[in-house]
Structure 1
Amino acid sequence: MMLILRRPWLKLDYRVTEGPECHAPYGEAGPDAVLLRCGLVPGALLNQILDHFRQALPNEDAAFVLWNERTGEFSIDFPVIERATPSRLVYRTPQPEPDCHIVCDLHSHGTGAAFFSATDDADDRNSTKVAIVVGRLGRPGAPSFAARLCAGGMFLTLPGLPFAEARDAD
């Protein structure tokens, strides 16, 4: 069984289970594949987001990367923050205009480690997006990142960040 998911910005073919050998009426299943149809997000946007997150220290912060399928352009949406502390963040997910799609949902853990919490799991469960947590901000060295693709109720580990070269994304 495979999860086949198509969005204007994403093409995903992911093998969920190995099934018995049988006739497949729609053809053979190919290999797992993840393709960002929108391309990589410009690294300059990640740099802007990291700068914004650093300004919010010691509190957590959030940002969304949107992609306009009509123009092919990426943009950043810094959401309305309802509550921010060094260990908790409550914010509003943007409602994109037609032809715009949320590609990445990023939030920081301030100076703490980058990891997905139980709250993150609950928030991401019914979304299709790249979720990224940024940690170790304001400490010597590069920040740390945890990234995953949220799709079909599953969390798929990503081999790297979906950004083109960026000064802080090691």
Structure 2
Amino acid sequence: MDSRDVALQSVMPTVMVPRYAELEELDTPGNRILMAENGVWLEVCHAWLYARIPVSLPLRIPVPYGVIYEELRFGFGKLPKAMVAQFIEQARVRSPNECAAWGVWNQRTDSWKLLMLEERSVGTDHIEVNLPTLEEGEHRVMDLHSHGLHDAFFSREDNQDDRGETKIAGVIGNLDKPEVTASFRLCANGVFLPLPFESP
């Protein structure tokens, strides 16, 4: 096999799900493709996340693979509502311009911080930011941005930006109203999984 193919497949290996034994979960950071009787799945492991997500329907032919089920576990427990509320307040101050922030989880201390991102260019319908460097043990879990006076939704540009990343993305809109609108999703290597939002 070409060495380039070996390198590519080592980054994203494909695993056949056993029929008569338990699948050993991925326990080191990375991604795998899982071939199962009930379809093709993406498996993702990070310090803060373990996920198995279906990405394709089962094959039409009989296959010698086992069945697996959807799984989504966060290493930090529940999402920090207080931090989202803090971002909403920051976004109200900056409205009608957009703003952006990261929700950073410290694995060693199991604590959170909201990191407002430095803006290179910003307006009522766009934002460009400088990305910060995190300390050892810190993980960017949430990627938040606001839509000022507009509804919360993921734009075509958001979809492109989020395509190759693993994170929770959130958009907050209608910041001129008492009740903001919000849209949250898990981004996992090109798969987008909607997440519920409970107003903080």
Give me the whole-angstrom Cα distance separating, in 1, the residues matched to 2:122 and 2:160: 18
What does residue 160 of structure 2 align with? 122
Structure 1 residue 155 displacement after superposition? 1.4
Q: 2:41 aligns to what?
A: 2
Do structure 1's residue 100 and structure 2's residue 143 form an aligned pair? no
- Extract unaligned runs of 5+ from structure 2: 1-39
CA distance in 1: counterparts of 2:132 and 2:186, whole angstroms: 19
Partner of residue 143 from structure 1, selected from 164, 167, 180? 180
Rounded Cα–Cα distance in structure 2 between residues aligned with 1:7 and 1:13: 12
Verify: 1:11 aligned to 2:44, yes or no: no
Aligned partner of 1:42: which letter?
P
Instruction: Give runs of aligned pairs for residues 80-91 of structure 1, distance below 5 A.
Output: 80-91=118-129
Question: Moved runs in structure 1, 4+ residues, more than 6 A?
Answer: none
Matches within 5 A, 1:12-27: 12-20=51-59, 21-24=62-65
Partner amino acid, structure 2, of 1:74: W
Q: From the CA coordinates, give the structure whose radius of gyration is larger.
A: 2
Aligned pair count reads 159
Distance in 2 (alpha carbons) for counterparts of 1:38 and 1:93: 23
| Matching residue of 2:69 | 31
What percent identity do the matched residue pairs reach? 32
Deviations 1:74-103 (A, max 9, x none): 111111111111111111232221211111
Relative contact order: is structure 1 or structure 2 higher (C-alpha 8 Å, sep ≥ 6)? 1
Q: CA deviation at 1:127?
A: 0.8
Q: 1:29 to 1:77 in 2, by over 3 A?
A: farther
> So what's the TM-score if we normalise by structure 1?
0.87
Q: Which amino acid aligns with 1:115?
A: F
Q: RMSD of the alignment, in Å?
A: 1.5
Alignment TM-score, normalising by the size of structure 2 = 0.75
Gaps of 5+ in 1: none
Q: By percentage of residues, which structure has more strand?
A: 2
Where does residue 154 of structure 1 map in the other structure?
191
Give the CA deviation at 1:135: 0.4
